[in-house]
Amino acid sequence: MRFSIPGTMRSVSVTGSGQTIHAVSGSAQGVHGAEQAAVGSARFSRADDGGAETIAAPTIGRPHGRAGRFLPHGLNRLMGSSAIAALALGLASPAFAQDEGTGDETVELATVAVWGTHVSSDSLYLGEQEIELKQADHLSDLMRVLPGVDIGGTHSINTRINFRGLDDRNLSIFIDGAQQKNYLFHHIGNLLINPDILQSAEIQLGTNTVTHGGLGGSVRFETKDARDLLAGTDRDFGARLALGYNTNALNSQSATAYGQLGERVDGLIYYNRVDRDNFEDGNGRETVGSDGETEDVLAKLGFAITDNQRLEVSYDYLSDAGDYTQRPDMGAVLNQALTGDLVLPTEYSRETINVSYDLDLGPAFALDATYFTNDMDLYRDERAATTRTGPGRQKRAIADNQGVNLLARSDIGFGGLDHQLTYGVEYFDQSFDYDGDIELAGGEITQSSDYTAIFIEDAIGLTRQLTVRPGVRYTDYSISYDTAGSSGSFDEVSYGLAVDFKVNDALTLLASHTDLFQGPELAEPFTGAGGNKLVNPDLAAETGHTREFGVRFSVPFDAGQLNLGANLFRTEINDFIAEQAVTGSTTGATQDVNIGDAVIDGAEASANLAFDNWSALL
């Protein structure tokens, strides 16, 4: 028995009630194999004469939680996503029926259990197809089709996200409301994210709103909870076990248990392990620097205080440990040319604790509030290496982060116009601690920063066709190189204005102008840079603006739809900051300086053709 699911790209084998259903679709997937995909119901028809068999695609709904609730007006309506299907789907027992007209036997599959990630982005236009699913074992699997987005790295030790030429140090990235901003070492990735457990990824490309402070855009990841996994079923408990094996020296195991623990309490516990060895290349040569193990533990407990209030506590620990090259962000060929087969025992971990509160009073007021701690720990044993400063040592850098995020929405009528207000507060406290030789007492280097932002944005419906979106954001930022005894502060008021004009049912025009602001980041701790770094009294924060113009075109036809989207943008960053040696210093002191302006020009385009159960994306 064979069937196809629209937009899917992996083979599917499903067993339910004594029958096995195999599904195959278009093209091959990534290196590390598949996971699972969609929620909904499916209907399977089997011809008695041995003819073709078909099954309807599962229906796909929006995720629970925050995804999509607080997108700026105009962006929420135009957000799209793309989907990949499942390797293993858990099916309820099918019900059989006979078609009186044809004599065909029909199998009714009540529920198709889904394991995937809802991906939405304002850079990709899919028309009425607002939400679909992706499943991934690497972040690139979630975002590779999005115009303007690049994902680098092979696993968490060296993963990087790039939006329109700006890396994740210039983006606002959140996991369950916890901000991820950790520049520990330039040869190591700044993020530790397991895509297997993500429920949604909400991507805003570029700065066309004041609701985030990233120069290049923002990503809000949400992990799964018991409500997500039980949605669409009549069950109170569930479990998932996944095993994976790849011929390129990789295997994985994952276990999840979740359930409704009471009338208002639900919980989830998740464990994932990926074991990698050094694989052989196409010529049979063993590579170096891939031998490692990644583990992730996630526990969540949710409490529905009332029908419109929810409290959730979560604990997430992810570690990546192995024998990795001295420069994990560089390829094997370059590493072998520089250091031969040298590998260094490395441990990189993230520990996140979240306490979140959601209140939904309907259009009048909705609130997401999060308190979080998010700690990163990077350890490396360099005793087998010789560094630029002498014999290698055991080194450790720790980032201690905590913060509060408040994000609210209110829809009101005022002055005869509809207003959709989005407003909130972000507070982020960060400290870096570095020990260049953990076997010796003393010598630790510390530095810290504080970030506070307040913003409000109003989507005003001037007419049924025209919406304008003014916004204002105030940011206050302070930085302290504690060991060097130097500190400074920066603040700015930023403005934004966007316009959404619906010319007709098929054509929509978008335009925006948004101010930019970013203070100097903390010194890279793993090189010891913070120990002798001074705050330049003449330093100006990075400012500038992003201008963007977009076109969306959608036209239906018989059993299908054509969707076209395009963006033109220019990002100008004034007073670009770089680190330089202090002129005349005899101690090797460094400081940040403004080295000039940067301009990024670009264009993005997408085309989507959907016909019956088929969809093509360019």
Q: How far apart are CA 484 and CA 491, in angstroms?
A: 23
Query: What pLDDT was estimated at residue 267?
Result: 97
Q: Is the pLDDT of residue 14 over 50?
A: no
User: According to the per-residue pLDDT averaged within each range, which of 53-57, 351-355, 434-438, 614-618 is highest?
Assistant: 351-355
The residue with tokens 């028995």 is 1
Residue, of 98 and 451, whose pLDDT is higher? 451
Asked whether the predicted pLDDT for residue 78 surpasses 80, the reply is no
Identity (one letter) of the amino acid at 287?
T
Cα three-residue angle 31-606-510, rounded to 5 degrees: 135
Q: 435 pLDDT exceeds 80?
A: yes
- pLDDT at site 34: 32
Ramachandran angles phi, psi of 141, nearest 5°: -65, -30
pLDDT of 259 higher than 50? yes
Residue with tokens 């105009």: 74
| In contact, 409 and 459? CB cutoff 8 Å | no
Mean residue pLDDT across the chain: 81
SS3 content of the chain, % helix, strand, coil (to 5): 5, 55, 40
Look up residue 561 and give its two tokens. Answer: 């739809």
Residue 239: pLDDT band (50, 70, 90) is: very high
Q: How many CB atoms lie within 10 A of CB 49?
A: 7
Which pLDDT score, from 0 to 100, does residue 19 have? 32
pLDDT at residue number 338: 87
| pLDDT tens column, 199-228 | 988 989 888 999 999 999 999 999 999 998
Short-list 529, 543, 544, CA closest to 580: 529
pLDDT in tens, 477-532: 999 999 888 999 999 999 999 999 999 999 999 999 999 999 999 999 988 888 88
CB 530 within 8 A of CB 483: yes
Residue reference for tokens 């009540």: 110
Question: What letter would DSSP give residue 333?
Answer: H
Q: Measure the CA dihedral 154/155/156/162, to 10°.
A: 30
Measure the N-to-C terminal CA separation of the chain; round to a whole number of Å. 31
| Mean of pLDDT values over 45-56 | 36
Assess whether pLDDT exceeds 80 at residue 430.
yes
In the prediction, which pLDDT does 463 show?
A: 94
Question: Between 560 and 27, where is the model more confident?
Answer: 560
What is the helix (H) or strand (E) element at residue 338, kind and residue range? helix 332-339
Q: What is the pLDDT of residue 52?
A: 36
Letter for the amino acid at 515? D
Instruction: Write down the residue that tokens 């116009």 correspond to.
Output: 417
Determine the Cα angle at 591 with ends 588 and 596, to 5°: 130
Mean pLDDT of 78-104: 42
At 527-550, the pLDDT tens digits run: 888 888 999 999 999 999 999 999
Give mean pLDDT, residues 579-599. 91
Supply the pLDDT for residue 63: 43
Give the type of residue at 467. T
**pLDDT at residue 588 tops 50:** yes
Is the CB of residue 44 less than 8 Å from the CB of residue 54? Answer: yes
499, with CB counted inside 10 A (0-12, 13-18, 19+), is middle
Q: Where are the beta strands (DSSP E) in 159-308?
A: 160-163, 166-167, 172-175, 178-179, 198-205, 217-223, 237-246, 250-260, 265-276, 291-306
CA distance 230 to 233: 6
Cβ-proximal residues to 244 (8 Å cutoff; 6+ apart), any chain = 32, 33, 137, 250, 251, 252, 253
Q: Is 445 left (phi over 0), alpha (psi -120 to 50) or beta?
A: beta
Percent of the chain with pLDDT over 70: 79
| Backbone CA torsion sign across 184, 187, 190, 193 | negative
Instruction: Answer yes or no: is pLDDT of 95 > 50.
Output: no
Residues 6+ apart with CB under 8 A from 235: none
pLDDT at position 302 is 97
**Among 487, 477, 596, residue whose Cα is nearest residue 533:** 487
What is the dihedral sign for C-alpha 196, 197, 199, 201?
A: negative
d(CA 182, CA 192): 10
pLDDT band, residue 112 (cuts 50/70/90): low
Tokens linked to 251: 């295997």
**Which tens digit of pLDDT belongs to each residue from 304-344?**
999 999 999 999 999 999 999 999 888 878 888 888 889 99
Tokens 């007021």 found at: 365
Q: Under a CB-based contact definition with an 8 Å cutoff, are residues 173 and 219 in contact?
A: yes
